[in-house]
């Protein structure tokens, strides 16, 4: 059993920022990361970020991952970043178990920050289990991390930011796009992304959905159709598309399994993507000393995940008795950044969800 002041689960944008703020104030930190490298899903984000300078606006996600990881060195507190380390269980006596490079480990942290991120949702349609039906994140991983084209011709389902950004990245990788569909009346993502795709000659069909995928052992064709005012199929509107990949970009759910195990108070909040832990403005859950940050606290953007990570890191530091005069000021600044990130008309859903979860709006 290893006792330690602060354990962070997940080395994505939230976890890395939490570690930075804690180590900066002198706290020793252990980060356990399931993947083989740090950065979470930033490692495949080739686009430049929005937001303000504090959230690395106009820097590409892949670069932000490197910046956040590199700045953990040489701080007053020591940061140990352990990759290939999957946290397995949270126990009622505060013990956390993990598989670290194939070895079973037990930890007893004074404080813990869970920053496990999210998992991709799927969509119900006939043939949705065929090989070739891939999550948008999976397609991004395959092309941008491993340099492999997911297929020759892709049908994208979902015109939110992820659907639009991955569509553009597919074009950059030399893959053809048959169409981008969305069941909603309007394109959900930023129009700057949508116009790039339209300029490339790819139709974005709103009020459309996929009806069926079929092929011999893998996706070869898709049938799509138009939807009426009540989201019912318009008869006769079917079209067949010859595609070998159907990419699903219909949203994410918080990856909150560990928090269920920790038995913190959870609530279903559709605006935040599913079940999320209730939290205070410090990002602390109903369990003392157990904090959350990033998509596990509610599906949002990497920019707000970074700021939430900083808040959780500072708050844990204060709880551990390491706070400096700077801590409270830094935290206030972070709260101000969150308010700005969530201020726009497009963030109304997030504001509603955060209010229900007890978080800062």
CA nearest neighbour of 229 among 166, 178, 185, 180: 185
Contact flag: residue 324 with another protein (CB under 8 A): no
Contact flag: residue 344 with another protein (CB under 8 A): no
Contact flag: residue 268 with another protein (CB under 8 A): no
* Cα(255)–Cα(120) distance, integer angstroms: 9
Contact flag: residue 146 with another protein (CB under 8 A): yes
Query: Which span sits near another protein by CB under 8 A: 133-141, 176-184, 198-206, 221-229?
Result: 133-141
Site string for another protein, 281-320 (x = CB under 8 A): ----------------------------------------
Contact flag: residue 150 with another protein (CB under 8 A): yes
Query: Which span sits near another protein by CB under 8 A: 18-26, 115-123, 159-167, 183-191?
Result: 115-123
Q: Which of 174, 201, 236, 345 binds another protein (CB under 8 A)?
A: 174
Interface with another protein in residues 11-30 (CB under 8 A): none
* Cα(187)–Cα(167) distance, integer angstroms: 13
Contact flag: residue 206 with another protein (CB under 8 A): no
Helix or strand holding residue 325 (H, E): helix 325-341
Q: Which of 4, 26, 35, 223 binds another protein (CB under 8 A)?
A: 35
**CB nearer another protein, residue 82 or residue 119:** 119
Contact flag: residue 60 with another protein (CB under 8 A): yes
**CB nearer another protein, residue 141 or residue 324:** 141
- Is residue 215 within 8 A of residue 196, CB to CB? The reply is no
* Cα(245)–Cα(220) distance, integer angstroms: 8
Cross-sheet strand order for the sheet of 204-206? 133-135, 245-248, 153-157, 176-182, 204-206
Q: Least distance (Å) from another protein to the CB of residue 201? A: 18
Contact flag: residue 98 with another protein (CB under 8 A): no
* Cα(216)–Cα(162) distance, integer angstroms: 29
- Is residue 27 within 8 A of residue 316, CB to CB? The reply is yes
Q: What is the dihedral of CA 263, 357, 327, 319, to 10 degrees?
A: -20
Give the distance from CA 241 to its chain's centroid. 30
Q: Least distance (Å) from another protein to the CB of residue 104? A: 16
Contact flag: residue 260 with another protein (CB under 8 A): no
Contact flag: residue 267 with another protein (CB under 8 A): no
Contact flag: residue 148 with another protein (CB under 8 A): yes
Q: Which of 82, 83, 97, 141 binds another protein (CB under 8 A)?
A: 141
- Is residue 189 within 8 A of residue 161, CB to CB? The reply is yes
Contact flag: residue 66 with another protein (CB under 8 A): no
Query: Which span sits near another protein by CB under 8 A: 33-41, 102-110, 271-279, 315-323?
Result: 33-41
Which of the 8 DSSP states describes residue 78? Answer: -
Classify the C-alpha dihedral 253-258-260-262 as positive or negative.
negative
Which of the 8 DSSP states describes residue 39? Answer: S
Which of the 8 DSSP states describes residue 282? Answer: T
Q: Which of 39, 41, 163, 166 binds another protein (CB under 8 A)?
A: 41
Write the burial class of residue 60 (CB in 10 Å: 0-12 exposed, 13-18 middle, 19+ buried).
middle
Q: Least distance (Å) from another protein to the CB of residue 346? A: 26
Contact flag: residue 83 with another protein (CB under 8 A): no
Q: Least distance (Å) from another protein to the CB of residue 318? A: 33
User: What phi and psi, each to the nearest 5 degrees, are found at residue 322?
Assistant: -100, 5
Contact flag: residue 137 with another protein (CB under 8 A): yes
Radius of gyration of the chain (CA): 21
Residues 6+ apart with CB under 8 A from 330: 21, 310, 314
Contacting residues toward another protein, per CB under 8 A: 34-36, 41, 46, 60, 62, 119-120, 122, 129-135, 137-139, 141-150, 172-174, 217-218, 255
């Amino acid at each position: 059993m290893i006792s330690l002041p602060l354990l962070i689960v997940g080395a994505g944008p939230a976890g890395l920022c939490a570690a930075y703020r804690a180590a900066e104030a002198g706290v020793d930190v252990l980060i356990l990361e399931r993947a083989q490298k740090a950065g979470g899903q930033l490692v495949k984000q080739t686009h430049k970020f929005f937001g303000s300078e504090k959230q690395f606006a106009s820097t590409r996600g892949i670069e932000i991952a490197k910046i956040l990881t590199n700045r953990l060195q040489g701080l007053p507190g020591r940061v140990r970043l352990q990759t290939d380390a999957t946290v397995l269980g949270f126990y009622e006596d505060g013990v956390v178990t993990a598989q670290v490079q194939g070895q079973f480990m037990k930890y007893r942290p004074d404080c813990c920050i869970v920053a496990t991120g999210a998992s991709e949702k799927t969509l119900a349609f006939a043939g949705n289990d065929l090989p070739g039906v891939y999550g948008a994140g999976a397609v991004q991983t395959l092309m941008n991390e491993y340099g492999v084209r997911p297929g020759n011709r892709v049908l994208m389902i979902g015109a939110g930011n992820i659907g639009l950004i991955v569509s553009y990245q597919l074009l950059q990788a030399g893959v053809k796009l048959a169409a981008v569909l969305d069941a909603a009346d309007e394109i959900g993502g930023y129009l700057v992304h949508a116009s790039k795709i339209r300029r490339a000659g790819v139709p974005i069909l709103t009020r459309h959905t996929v009806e069926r995928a079929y092929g011999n052992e893998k996706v070869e064709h898709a049938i799509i159709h138009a939807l009426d005012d009540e989201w019912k199929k318009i008869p006769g509107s079917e079209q067949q598309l010859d595609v070998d990949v159907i990419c699903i970009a219909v949203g994410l759910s918080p990856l909150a399994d560990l928090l269920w195990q920790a038995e913190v108070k959870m609530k279903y909040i559709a605006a935040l993507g599913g079940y999320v832990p209730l939290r205070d403005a410090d990002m602390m859950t109903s369990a003392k000393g157990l904090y959350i940050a990033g998509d596990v606290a509610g599906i949002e953007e990497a920019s707000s995940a970074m700021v939430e990570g900083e808040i959780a890191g500072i708050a844990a530091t204060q709880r551990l008795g390491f706070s400096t005069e700077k801590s409270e000021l830094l935290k206030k600044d972070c709260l101000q950044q969150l308010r700005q990130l969530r201020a726009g008309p497009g963030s109304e859903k997030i504001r509603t969800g955060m209010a229900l979860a007890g978080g800062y709006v």
